[in-house]
Structure 1
Amino acid sequence: MARPVKFSSDDILDAAARVVLARGQHTTVAEIAGEAGAPVGSVYLSLRLTRGVARHSLAAFRA
């Protein structure tokens, strides 16, 4: 049986959007992890492709 998810992809992407909007293109994964309250490894596993962060952040900015 799989372990329960502690940090959803939506939570991590929302945190990424907040950090990217505040810091811009120089945002680090560690900053996203800190904002989400998640370990850095969870951020990497959740995002899988860094393009997802950019797309989600841009969509949040345009909303």
Structure 2
Amino acid sequence: MKEIDPGELERLASALRLAESALEEALEAAENLGSFDRRFDVPRAVGGAQRLVGNALEAVDAARRP
């Protein structure tokens, strides 16, 4: 397996935590706005992005384990 740079791993984790926080705010705003776009469900799309970020954070956590 490839050597993992701990600094880059922390950089990734930090960026993902920021994304997670931003997506929480976006979801709250989207839910407050309700159905404003007929093409797609914005809160659902943001929720999907949250799940992807969560999966990436789990991968970072797993990479940190010896």
TM-score (norm 1): 0.39
Higher radius of gyration, 1 or 2: 2
